[in-house]
Structure 1
Amino acid sequence: MKRWAGQVCLFFAFSLAGTSVISARLVSGKLGTFTIASVSLFFALLFLLPACGKKLMESLCEMSAKDVFSLVLQAIFGIFLFRMFLLYGMLFTSSMEAGILTGATPAFTALFAMALLKEPFSGKKLAGIAGTVGGILMIQGLLNAGNSFSLLHLGGNMLVLCAAASESTFNIFSRVFAVKTVSVQKKAIHPLVQTALVSAIAFILCLIPTLFEAPVRRLSEIGLGEWLSLLWYGLFVTALAFVFWYAGIKRCGAFTAAAFSGMMPFVSMLLSVIILGEQVGWQQWMGGVLVISGMILIGNGSIPAKVSKLQEVKSIKEQVVK
Structure 2
Amino acid sequence: MFKAYLNLTMAMVIVGSSVVAGKIMIDQLPIFFASALRFLIASLLMVPILYFREGGLPQLSRRSWCILCVQALCGSFLFTVLMLFGLTMISPASAGIITSTTPACMGIIGWILLKERPSGRTLAGIFLSVAGVMVLNILGEGGAFGASFLGSLLMVGAVASESLFLLFRKWVPEPLSPIAATTIISLFGFLWFLPAGLYQFFTHDYSVVAIGPWLAVVYYGVVVTVLAYLFWFAGIVSVSSSVASVFTGVMPLSAVCLSALILGEQLQFSHFIGCTCVLGGIALISD
TM-score using structure 2 length? 0.92
Q: Give 1:20-35 correspondences, 5 Å limit.
A: 20-35=18-33
User: What residue is the counterpart of 1:79 in the other structure?
Assistant: 76
Q: Give 1:57-206 correspondences, 5 Å limit.
A: 58-60=56-58, 62-95=59-92, 97-99=94-96, 101-141=98-138, 148-152=143-147, 155-177=150-172, 180-181=173-174, 188-206=175-193
SS in 2 for 1:11: helix
User: What residue is the counterpart of 1:315 in the other structure?
Assistant: none
- Partners of 2:77 and 2:193 within 8 A in 1: yes
SS in 2 for 1:159: helix
> Matches of 2:10 and 2:140 in 1, distance apart?
28
2:89 corresponds to which letter in structure 1? F
Shift, 1:5, TM fit? 1.4
> Matches of 1:40 and 1:191 in 2, distance apart?
19
> Matches of 2:111 and 2:126 in 1, distance apart?
12
**1:13 counterpart = 2:8:** no
> Matches of 2:106 and 2:22 in 1, distance apart?
23
> Matches of 1:122 and 1:149 in 2, distance apart?
33
Aligned length: 287
Structure 1 residues 14, 100: closer, same or farther in 2, change over 3 A?
farther
**1:261 counterpart = 2:258:** no
- Partners of 1:21 and 1:95 within 8 A in 2: no
Shift, 1:243, TM fit? 0.8
**1:38 counterpart = 2:25:** no
Structure 1 runs (4+) deviating above 6 angstroms are: none
SS in 2 for 1:53: helix
Shift, 1:92, TM fit? 2.7
User: What residue is the counterpart of 1:307 in the other structure?
Assistant: none
**1:229 counterpart = 2:216:** yes
Structure 1, residues 250-283: CA drift from partner, whole Å, max 9, x if none? Answer: 1111111100011111111112222222334212
Structure 1, residues 261-307: CA drift from partner, whole Å, max 9, x if none? Answer: 1111111111222222233421222011101110111113xxxxxxx
Q: Which segments of 5 or more consecutive residues in structure 1 lack a partner in the other structure?
A: 182-187, 301-322
Structure 1 residues 99, 15: closer, same or farther in 2, change over 3 A?
farther
1:249 corresponds to which letter in structure 2? I
TM-score using structure 1 length? 0.82
Structure 1, residues 64-95: CA drift from partner, whole Å, max 9, x if none? Answer: 11111011011101111011111112223445
Q: Which segments of 5 or more consecutive residues in structure 2 lack a partner in the other structure?
A: none
- Of 235, 242, 251, 2:238 maps to 251
> Matches of 2:23 and 2:239 in 1, distance apart?
31
> Matches of 2:279 and 2:219 in 1, distance apart?
25
SS in 2 for 1:220: coil
> Matches of 1:267 and 1:295 in 2, distance apart?
14
